[in-house]
Structure 1
Amino acid sequence: MGPLEVETYSIDILRLLDHPQPPYESIIFDCRSLLRKLLNPVVCHSFREGNYVADILAKQGSKLTSYNMATILQSPPDIVQCQLTKDKNGVTSSRLVNSTTCNKLARFKNLVVTNNP
């Protein structure tokens, strides 16, 4: 198994990990600390379409009322079955990306390694 890689579709998260700003400094410090415990995995950008199943599950998770409890799924829920089938069959999607987003990603070289604060 290769090294761990963390993907986010939030360019703001990449920016904050690179340059923490108030009022997020404390939580960014905690995130960096957790990343160090994971042996400093690479944190990089991925468009939502890159892992649509994770996006669907995250949206479902945000609707849960129990915020401090882990939910362990024994099998994929019905809401992701269609997308899993598409992934298995190699169905791809395309997306138009504006130049501002491309420039932001280029500044990060689409790759951010967390620095020790």
Structure 2
Amino acid sequence: MAELWALKDGLTLASQLRISDICVELDAELIVLLLTNYSINNLMIEPLLDDCRTLLKKFHNSTVHHIFREANQYADALAKFGATFSSDYVNFVNPSPVVEDLLAFDKTKLFCNRLISV
């Protein structure tokens, strides 16, 4: 549910900024499935899903993809940081200090492997 609310807020902001093309990457595979497959119904989150689908249609080009959490470290770090706020919505003009290390890691052009236990 939190992932959908964040998606709705992000899509709303992107729409207000008049962004025409958007690629949404989510590490919640179930949300990707629910967003892209209209035949699956979930009455508890259906209104929020419909809002996100409607917002996605506002963009000239939009795609929704599942990515692994390792590729979504910024969002994960910001979500954990946001959980400490009392405000419902925070808009950063500059990168938050919680992602500075991640930005530095990206600059090195290195990558992290996904560990799979067998």
Q: In the alignment, which of 85, 95, 98 is matched to residue 114 of structure 2?
A: 95
Structure 1 residue runs without a partner (length 5+): 99-117
Structure 2: distance between partners of 1:27 and 1:7 = 18
User: Which whole-Å deviations, capped at 9, do the CAs of 1:94-117 have from their partners, x for residues lacking one?
Assistant: 11358xxxxxxxxxxxxxxxxxxx
- Give the secondary structure class of the aligned counterpart of 1:4: strand
Percent sequence identity over matched residues?
34
Question: Which residue in the other structure is 2:13 paired with?
Answer: none
Aligned alpha-carbon RMSD (Å): 2.5
What is the TM-score of this pair, normalised by structure 2?
0.69
Runs of 4+ in 1 over 4 A off after TM superposition: none
Shift of 1:2: 8.7
What is the TM-score of this pair, normalised by structure 1?
0.70
Structure 1: distance between partners of 2:32 and 2:112 = 24
Conserved 8 A contact 1:20-1:28: no
Aligned length: 97
1:59 corresponds to which letter in structure 2?
A: K
Structure 2 residue runs without a partner (length 5+): 1-18
Structure 2: distance between partners of 1:32 and 1:97 = 33
Shift of 1:53: 1.7
**Do the aligned partners of residues 13 and 62 (structure 1) sit closer, same or farther apart at CA in structure 2, a change above 3 Å counting?**
same
Greater shift after overlay, 27-36 or 52-61?
Answer: 52-61
- Give the secondary structure class of the aligned counterpart of 1:56: helix
Question: Which residue in the other structure is 1:53 paired with?
Answer: 74
**Which of structures 1 and 2 has the larger relative contact order (alpha carbons within 8 angstroms, sep 6+)?**
1
